[in-house]
A = this chain, B = another copy of it.
Amino acid sequence: MFNKRTRIKELLKGDKIGEEVTAMGWVRTFRNNQFIAINDGSCNANLQAVVELGTQNEETLKRITTSASVKVTGELIASLGKGQQVELKVKTLEILGDSDPEKYPLQPKKHSLEFLREHAHLRFRTNTFGSVFRVRHALAFATHKFFNDKGFLYLHTPIITSSDAEGAGEMFRVTTLDLENLPRTQDGKINFAEDFFGKSTNLTVSGQLEGELGATAFSDIYTFGPTFRAENSNTTRHLAEFWMIEPEMAFYDIEDNMDLAEEFIKYLISYVFEHNHEDLQFLESRLKEEEKSLPQDKRSEFGLIEKLQFVLENPFERITYTEAIDILMASPMYKKKKFKFEVKWGIDLQSEHERYLVEKHFRKPVIVTGYPKEIKAFYMRQNDDGKTVAAMDILAPGIGEIVGGSQREERLEVLLNRMQEMNIPAREMDFYLDTRRFGTVPHAGFGLGFERMVLFVTGMTNIRDVIAFARTPDNCEF
Contacts and interface: CB of A to CB of B under 8 A. Distances in A.
A170 B178 CA distance: 13
Which of A5, A67, A105 gathers most chain B CB within 10 Å? A67
Interface string A242-284: 0100000111110110000000000000000000000000000
A473 B439 contact: no
A432 B69 CA distance: 16
Interface stretch (A78-86, A192-200, A337-345, A372-380): A192-200
A467 B473 CA distance: 32
Contacts of A219: 7, 24-25, 40-42
A179 interface: yes
22 contacts: A7-B151, A9-B151, A25-B219, A27-B439, A40-B218, A40-B219, A41-B218, A42-B151, A67-B438, A97-B410, A122-B434, A156-B243, A159-B228, A159-B241, A170-B176, A172-B175, A174-B203, A175-B179, A179-B182, A197-B475, A198-B475, A210-B478
A426 interface: no
Given A2-B253, A251-B3, A69 B226 contact: no
A134 interface: yes
Interface in A1-58: 1-3, 5, 7, 9, 24-27, 40-42
A413 interface: no
Nearest to A249: B3
Nearest to A214: B124
A71 B442 CA distance: 11
A112 B41 CA distance: 51
Interface stretch (A137-145, A353-361, A392-400, A414-422): A137-145
Contacts of A226: 156, 159, 225-226
A181 to B, nearest CB: 11
Number of this chain's copies in the complex: 2
A217 interface: yes
Given A172-B174, A217-B124, A438-B122, A431 B240 contact: no
B155 A24 contact: no
B240 A196 contact: yes
A134 to B, nearest CB: 7
Interface of A: 1-3, 5, 7, 9, 24-27, 40-42, 67-69, 71, 96-100, 103-105, 121-122, 124-125, 130, 133-134, 136-137, 140-141, 144, 148, 151, 153-162, 170, 172-177, 179-180, 182, 190, 196-199, 201, 203, 210, 213-214, 216-219, 225-226, 228, 230, 232, 240-241, 243, 249-253, 255-256, 410, 431-432, 434-442, 467-469, 471, 473-478
A473 B199 CA distance: 10
Contacts of A2: 251-253, 255-256, 442
List of 8 A-B pairs having minimum Cβ-Cβ separation, nearest first:
A124-B217, A41-B218, A97-B440, A197-B476, A69-B439, A198-B474, A2-B253, A99-B438
A130 B221 CA distance: 12
A99 B137 contact: no
Contacts of A437: 99-100, 103
Contacts of A438: 67-68, 97, 99-100, 103-104, 122
